[in-house]
Every structure is written in structure tokens, then in C-alpha cells.
Amino acid sequence: MTTDPPAPGRVLLLAGCFADAAPSIGLAVALAARMRASIEAVLALDARAEGAALVPFGRPRGAPPPALSRESLTLSYAADARAFRLRLDKAAAGASLRWSFRTESGLLPDLALGMWQPGDAVIFGHRRFLALRGPVVSLGGDQDGSASRLAGDLARALGLRARVLPAETPPAQLDALAASALVLPRSFQTDRRLLAALIEAARCPVLLGPAE
């Protein structure tokens, strides 16, 4: 009796705009090559931005500036989607990796955790990557040490330092590290509020590695 081999995992790359996605595409390619996985990319439109586009332009004196119009938001989103798809196509082709791309509406942690399957890794794109060549930081807390090992592997591949911090490190302390990437234990996926806070505070790509 034979059994089929397990399906390969995916690298899920999610970002809210092309400016956030672009610095993370190379990281996604490096991780997918390490995992022998495909890349599944999502450009996420925050529903709150869509709501803001409905705010009328007429406003009382002293009120905040008007939001983008719905038409401007749609055009900007379409341009980001084209740029994201083209950059990913070029990067994945250079590494002979399979990839897919789509657009969704929702918050990054919610979308990622809804897509995640065993064996997947997740990257949340967030601007800074290699601009300051800071360390690849991992937060402790996984009993098998998979997050710190992944951080070490990526740091060596990218010629960077690796640094391990306690799992309880407050999000506010992460920005001062100027990290190139932040690797979190898989256990962090269950706390969406903390995950969102870490993504915002780190100001760099945030990874949830595959279970080992």
C-alpha cells in the first residue's frame, strides 16, 4: 500500500499596497525556494479605506482633509495590483517558482488566517526591507525553535545578522531595532489583535513560518 506525498506548502504574501509589497517579494521568493513551495500573493483593500471614500467632500471648517474619492481609490488600487503582479511574475520566473495573485477586501491578519493551511508560511508586507540592513529578528515562544531557525536561515541567505528576542517583547520596542524582517512563532496566529500590532510596530515584513 502506498500513500501520496503531502502537498507542498505555500508562501502566502499579503500587503495592503504595492509600496508595502515590493520590498517583500524578494523575501517571499527566497522563502519559497527554501521550502520548495509556490507563492500565493494577495493585495488586500482595507474596507475602512472604501468607507472613507464615501465621506462627502463638503466639511466644516477645521475638519480633517477629505478622503480620496471612490474613483481615485479604485484607480490607485488597480495600478497597485498591476505593479504587484508584474514584479512578482518577474521575480518568481527568475527562480522558476509557481505563483498566483488575486485581490481581496479585508484586514491582513484576517485574510491570512483564513487562507492558511498546514505547511504554509505567511509574509505580511510592510515597507522597510534591507534599506538599513538591520537584523532578522525572531520572537521566542515556539518549543521547537522553528522561528529562530528560520530567522537564522534567512539572515545567512541575505548576509544579515539574526537576533532572538523574548516572546513577550512589547510591540513598541520593535521599531527601534530597524529590523529587516520579523519572524514570529506559529502560536502568534491565534491572537489577531497582537499580530496586527506587531505588523504595525515592526515596520518591516513579518513572517509566520510553516510548522516543522
User: How does residue 5 score in pLDDT terms, banded at 50, 70 and 90?
Assistant: very low
Query: Who wins on pLDDT, 138 or 71?
Result: 138
Q: Please indicate, yes or no, whether residues 47 and 118 belong to a single structural domain of this protein.
A: yes
Q: Please indicate, yes or no, whether residues 107 and 133 belong to a single structural domain of this protein.
A: no
Q: Please indicate, yes or no, whether residues 26 and 97 belong to a single structural domain of this protein.
A: yes
Q: Which amino acid is at 155?
A: A
Total count of domains within the chain: 2
Is 62 among the domain residues?
A: yes
Q: Please indicate, yes or no, whether residues 137 and 119 belong to a single structural domain of this protein.
A: no
Q: Please indicate, yes or no, whether residues 95 and 40 belong to a single structural domain of this protein.
A: yes
Q: Please indicate, yes or no, whether residues 33 and 86 belong to a single structural domain of this protein.
A: yes
Assign 3-state DSSP to the chain and report helix, strand, coil percentages, each to 5.
Answer: 45, 20, 40
Q: ∠ at Cα 112 (159, 123), nearest 5°?
A: 5
Is 4 among the domain residues?
A: no
> Whole domain around residue 35: which residue ranges?
9-123
Q: Which residue has the cell 514570529?
A: 184
Task: Provide CB contacts within 8 A for 82, sequence distance 6+.
Answer: none
Q: Please indicate, yes or no, whether residues 119 and 148 belong to a single structural domain of this protein.
A: no
Is 69 among the domain residues?
A: yes
Residue 173 belongs to a domain with what CATH number? 3.40.50
Domain's final residue, options 73, 102, 123: 123
Buried b (16+ CB within 10 A) or exposed e, 102-114: eeeeebbbebbbe
Q: Give the model's pLDDT for residue 143.
A: 64
In tens, the pLDDT along 182-195 reads: 999 887 777 788 88
In tens, the pLDDT along 25-53 reads: 988 998 999 889 999 999 998 766 555 54
Query: What is the grid cell recorded at 25?
Result: 517579494
